[in-house]
């Protein structure tokens, strides 16, 4: 049975690759983005199997309208992909409060808005899959990424609990934790840097920004390969609750596990 996908942030990056992979698999796709002209230009036509919807995920009413439109067009939503996101980079003290809040509005509350809009339709059918694109930075945080990681750590906690709430209703979840992906996510169109000048951080920030500039469009992860993997996984349930993707992500996650094991051993000994 062909599936119906609703994908946020589908005009570029990983979202566009997932939309293309789902269409190539013969599925139906409701592709959303803030600007539909970008969507029309980035996705090849697939007749009546592709439906384009304008959606700003921070707008709760727009999320409900997008979900309702998807169901009106295709009858159901089988797979939701929460992909829309943005990176607020920089040292914490250099990032303004409104920038921190904007990070959470897009990455966390935006995904919540769309999920809240879609779940009633999935509950009606007692079936569905919620795929949320997190990051290895939802497991591991680094200097220059504390605010971005905070939004992804929040996604991890939300989805871990939500998965247990939805499982009895026949609805599955998948959290995807990629490493650095070869997309335009580090471009100025997606990534922002803190703009409060604090000399104590100047040297570290300069080195970090040089790293970001050098890594942009040279990241090791292949978004087309990840998109294909996600589509294959959904075609062969049961879908595991977590996918760590990329050699860098696997190495960082393994390092975090070792760190936690050492800290647990110390904590156990300290209490003995």
- How do residues 211-223 score in pLDDT, each as one tens digit? 777 766 666 568 9
**CA–CA dist 184, 218 (Å, integer):** 10
**81 bridge partner residues:** 7, 131
* CB of 49 closer than 8 Å to CB of 30: no
Bond from prior residue into 238 cis (ω within 30 degrees of 0)? yes
**CA–CA dist 73, 234 (Å, integer):** 21
**Domain-wise residue ranges, the chain:** 4-271
Instruction: Dig out the tokens for 218 from the structure.
Output: 């040279």
Q: Given this model, what pLDDT does residue 186 score?
A: 61
Q: Given this model, what pLDDT does residue 215 score?
A: 66
- pTM of the shown model: 0.93
Task: Go through 202-224 and write b for each residue having 16 or more CB atoms within 10 A of its CB, e for each that does not.
Answer: eeebeebeeeeeeebeebebbbe
Q: Given this model, what pLDDT does residue 237 score?
A: 85
Class of the CATH-defined domain 4-271: alpha beta
Q: Given this model, what pLDDT does residue 85 score?
A: 93
Nearest to 29 by CA among 39, 19, 38, 37: 19
Q: Which residues in the chain land under pLDDT 70?
A: 181-190, 215-221, 270-272
Catalytic residues: 134, 148, 152
């Amino acid at each position: 049975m062909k599936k119906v996908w609703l994908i946020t942030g589908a005009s570029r990056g990983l979202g566009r690759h997932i939309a293309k992979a789902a269409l190539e698999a013969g599925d139906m796709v409701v592709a959303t983005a803030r600007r539909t002209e970008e969507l029309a230009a980035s996705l090849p036509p697939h007749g009546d199997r592709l439906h384009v919807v304008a959606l700003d995920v921070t707008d709760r009413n727009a999320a409900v309208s997008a979900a309702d439109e998807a169901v009106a067009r295709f009858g159901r939503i089988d797979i939701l992909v929460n992909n829309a996101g943005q990176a607020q980079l920089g040292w914490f003290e250099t990032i303004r409060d409104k920038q921190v809040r904007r990070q959470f509005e897009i990455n966390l509350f935006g995904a919540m808005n769309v999920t809240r809009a879609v779940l009633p339709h999935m509950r009606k059918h007692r079936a569905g899959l919620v795929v949320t694109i997190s990051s290895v930075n939802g497991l591991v945080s680094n200097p220059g990424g504390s605010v971005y990681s905070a939004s992804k750590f929040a996604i991890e906690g939300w989805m871990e609990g939500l998965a247990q709430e939805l499982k009895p209703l026949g609805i599955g979840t998948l959290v995807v934790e990629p490493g650095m992906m070869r997309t335009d996510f580090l471009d100025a169109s997606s990534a922002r840097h803190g703009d409060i000048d604090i000399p104590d951080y100047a040297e570290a920030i300069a080195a970090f920004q040089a790293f970001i500039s050098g890594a942009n469009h040279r990241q090791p992860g292949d978004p087309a390969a990840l998109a294909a993997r996600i589509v294959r996984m959904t075609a062969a349930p049961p879908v595991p609750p977590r996918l760590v993707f990329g050699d860098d992500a696997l190495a960082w996650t393994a390092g975090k596990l070792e760190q936690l094991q050492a800290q647990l051993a110390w904590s156990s000994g300290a209490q003995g």
